[in-house]
Chains A and B, each alone.
Chain A
């Protein structure tokens, strides 16, 4: 008998193996990516060892409110928004599903305020799971940060919670659940927030502003692929979707007039996917990031955006015709040992009609230097080159994964791409789960990990934190690391200074890379630091820092 047959026998008999039970909702093996990755021996028939779960699967979508596209809600200090998470009916590629929505919208309402505003959000949980709302990117009061078990109790179905949401900084933000994000975000619970600067010259003049929320959803055989009920699966790489969504639509379309300059506020709300977004061959001017403007505007041919990040770009559509909105990347076929290019068409921007009366070509051609941003950052430059105060190593620990996976992954380990763009190992990823995969943040100074790390700081501190994505771990992967409630500058990567800074709170740490951030500690409370791949968060990749207020 060949060794591979012996392995097969072993896998089938493995005590860790779990096979689909005869229930009406069952696990279905994920499709291999374009047939490029062959099934590992012994893996066929293997399913994640927990109950498959799909919220709303017993609901008739036709009885649910039909979700509507997101509406912009302008709010002033003291205004109250009633925000309800509930089931909605969504149609994607001709199939209608029961999904989640905020106020029956997809994405949720776009909350637009002036910088410095404080609004009230009376939130009602009308879904079938406990939840909470995290106001991503805001330096606001800790008790309203929306982290169950840290800043509040999870909001049970049928209950409500009143959030006071403060916007001290101009920027583009988003809100989302912080409880089983892998399920609730995937099913549609997310929305944007924009805090406008009072400075009318803050950004360049444009013909219009648009919001692009990038996402994906995983459909198998025309249905939403189930989730793990007791705990999440897709723990290795995160749940990559196979249908790309822009503002919740698989075929985004926008009409502009020839010669229009459009400012796009782009947010990546996907569970795991990075995007490399281009607008046909149109030039892209990058003007802002998570929290405000860059020191200097820059040209780019595409926008690279990791989960939870935001960027603000301006695009000139100078000719008539179609501009395809594309996501293009190079990824690895682990079976053939080859790189290959992949293109996802997310939609199109159609330049039609008459040239507008107001044209902004001249200002578009100029790259501004934002002296206000530079002068504010100047106050922090003396900290740039000092040794880090803290370090976090990014790693993974795996338990009883199927032996076929262990075999393959033990061999296919000589090289890992700095960034993962797609689910290149769908079968293995699918069966990994939080019971057998733990993602780790480790403080090398103490050896403590994840929620045991216990960092403290005082308001007024400027902390330098070094993230090192350990390339020697069993399955290294790029991680978008998010810090709640504070802001930071990404000052250095692999010892090379960042030439153009912007305030952020989410940073991608590529495989094998060392990234230094300088944190402006201004906000008291207990604040999470975690990977924003939803499944990595579920698999433990989080810690917190306790900030004491000083006089």
Chain B
């Protein structure tokens, strides 16, 4: 059910802002890299139909501290994240004031924070210190530097490796079994 909610939410975002991107972009299709089994420190970002040729990769590395692992006082692992993108058309193709913005969001989309504007380097770095599971969304925004909330359509999205932690609440292993 939660998966469906997530899907509907993403679809709603994409549909709701579909007006924003021309629907006949000529972007060649490219394959996205497959995730290695149990790769805990990287994830792929996959395109929506608005940017079929785009792709991205996120690398998250445990930040150093004097203790090896860096952990906040309330227990969050601290990661240094580098996002790399390919195949994103120049944003100004869509308008002089359009740019790409990367966001980090909880899987339920009840918390979204701006990571930054993606510039010509197609790379963005961020330090994460309050996230367990998270999504990365790349959107096209008007006045991207000033954009404080996500409003544009989603072009790329990816899920942290920890997003693979799934609920077993409804699994048959746990249903209708007497103590």
Interface residues of A (CB under 8 A from B): 2-5, 7-8, 38-42, 44, 276, 278, 281, 286, 289, 294, 298, 300-305, 309, 311, 326, 328-330, 332, 334-339, 341-342, 404, 407-408, 411-419, 421, 471-472, 476, 490, 493-494, 496, 498-500, 502, 507-508, 510-513
Interface centre among B66, B75, B178 (most CB of A within 10 A): B66
Contact B67 A44 (CB under 8 A): no
- B69 contacts which of A38, A472, A510 (Cβ < 8 Å)? A510
B19 at the interface (CB under 8 A from A): no
Other than A298-B65, A341-B75, A496-B61, give 4 A-B pairs with Cβ distance below 8 A. Answer: A2-B172, A339-B133, A418-B62, A490-B68
B60-119 residues at the A interface, CB under 8 angstroms? 61-62, 64-77
- Measured in the bound complex, the distance between the Cα atoms of B37 and A413 in whole Å is 10
B164 at the interface (CB under 8 A from A): yes
Given the complex, which residues of B lie within 8 Å of A407, measured CB to CB?
Answer: 173
Closest to A305 in B: B67
Closest to B2 in A: A337
- Measured in the bound complex, the distance between the Cα atoms of B73 and A281 in whole Å is 9
Contact A415 B38 (CB under 8 A): yes
Contact A494 B37 (CB under 8 A): no
Contact B75 A512 (CB under 8 A): no
Contact A471 B39 (CB under 8 A): yes
Contact A303 B40 (CB under 8 A): no
B95-151 residues at the A interface, CB under 8 angstroms? 132-133
Contact B73 A328 (CB under 8 A): yes
* A332-B165 contact given A5-B177, A278-B73, A418-B77, CB 8 Å threshold: yes
Closest to B175 in A: A4
Contact A328 B167 (CB under 8 A): no
B169 at the interface (CB under 8 A from A): yes
- Measured in the bound complex, the distance between the Cα atoms of B68 and A294 in whole Å is 12
Given the complex, which residues of B lie within 8 Å of A417, measured CB to CB?
Answer: 77, 162
- Measured in the bound complex, the distance between the Cα atoms of B75 and A416 in whole Å is 16
- A335 contacts which of B41, B64, B168 (Cβ < 8 Å)? B168
Given the complex, which residues of B lie within 8 Å of A499, measured CB to CB?
Answer: 64
* A512-B71 contact given A4-B175, A41-B173, CB 8 Å threshold: no
- B37 contacts which of A40, A304, A330, A472 (Cβ < 8 Å)? A472
Contact B37 A500 (CB under 8 A): no
Given the complex, which residues of B lie within 8 Å of A511, measured CB to CB?
Answer: 40
Given the complex, which residues of A lie within 8 Å of B38, measured CB to CB?
Answer: 413-416, 471-472, 476, 512
Q: How large is the interface on B (under 10, 10 to 19, 20 to 34, 35 or more residues)?
A: 35 or more
Contact A276 B168 (CB under 8 A): no
- A418 contacts which of B69, B72, B165 (Cβ < 8 Å)? B69
Contact B75 A300 (CB under 8 A): no
Closest to B174 in A: A38
Contact A328 B68 (CB under 8 A): no
Given the complex, which residues of A lie within 8 Å of B64, measured CB to CB?
Answer: 493, 496, 498-500
- Measured in the bound complex, the distance between the Cα atoms of B38 and A417 in whole Å is 11
- Measured in the bound complex, the distance between the Cα atoms of B173 and A7 in whole Å is 9
- B167 contacts which of A304, A335, A421 (Cβ < 8 Å)? A335
B153-179 residues at the A interface, CB under 8 angstroms? 161-169, 171-179
Given the complex, which residues of B lie within 8 Å of A418, measured CB to CB?
Answer: 40, 62, 69, 77
Q: Which 8 residue pairs are nearest across A and B when measured between Cβ atoms?
A: A337-B167, A339-B132, A414-B164, A41-B177, A304-B67, A329-B75, A512-B40, A415-B164
Contact A334 B168 (CB under 8 A): yes
Interface residues of B (CB under 8 A from A): 37-41, 61-62, 64-77, 132-133, 161-169, 171-179
Given the complex, which residues of A lie within 8 Å of B166, measured CB to CB?
Answer: 337, 412, 414
Given the complex, which residues of B lie within 8 Å of A302, measured CB to CB?
Answer: 71-73
Contact A3 B37 (CB under 8 A): no
Given the complex, which residues of A lie within 8 Å of B65, measured CB to CB?
Answer: 298, 300, 304
Given the complex, which residues of B lie within 8 Å of A412, measured CB to CB?
Answer: 166, 168
> How far in angstroms is the closest Cβ of chain A from B38?
4
- Measured in the bound complex, the distance between the Cα atoms of B167 and A338 in whole Å is 7
- B176 contacts which of A4, A38, A414, A472 (Cβ < 8 Å)? A4
Closest to B129 in A: A301
- Measured in the bound complex, the distance between the Cα atoms of B67 and A305 in whole Å is 7
> How far in angstroms is the closest Cβ of chain A from B111?
13
* A512-B41 contact given A4-B172, A411-B171, CB 8 Å threshold: yes
> How far in angstroms is the closest Cβ of chain A from B159?
11
Given the complex, which residues of A lie within 8 Å of B69, measured CB to CB?
Answer: 304, 418-419, 508, 510
**What are 15 A-B residue pairs whose CB atoms fall within 8 Å in the complex?**
A41-B174, A276-B75, A302-B71, A302-B73, A304-B71, A330-B77, A337-B167, A337-B169, A341-B75, A411-B168, A411-B173, A471-B38, A471-B39, A494-B62, A511-B40
* A415-B62 contact given A329-B71, A330-B132, A511-B40, CB 8 Å threshold: no
Contact B165 A294 (CB under 8 A): no
Interface centre among A40, A414, A510 (most CB of B within 10 A): A414
Contact B66 A286 (CB under 8 A): yes
Given the complex, which residues of A lie within 8 Å of B41, measured CB to CB?
Answer: 494, 512
- Measured in the bound complex, the distance between the Cα atoms of B38 and A301 in whole Å is 30
- Measured in the bound complex, the distance between the Cα atoms of B64 and A301 in whole Å is 14
Contact B172 A3 (CB under 8 A): yes
Closest to A286 in B: B66
- Measured in the bound complex, the distance between the Cα atoms of B165 and A502 in whole Å is 35
- Measured in the bound complex, the distance between the Cα atoms of B79 and A419 in whole Å is 13
- Measured in the bound complex, the distance between the Cα atoms of B85 and A424 in whole Å is 36
> How far in angstroms is the closest Cβ of chain A from B160?
9
Given the complex, which residues of B lie within 8 Å of A507, measured CB to CB?
Answer: 68
Contact B67 A311 (CB under 8 A): yes
Contact A44 B179 (CB under 8 A): yes
Contact A415 B165 (CB under 8 A): yes
Contact A328 B77 (CB under 8 A): no
> How far in angstroms is the closest Cβ of chain A from B179?
5
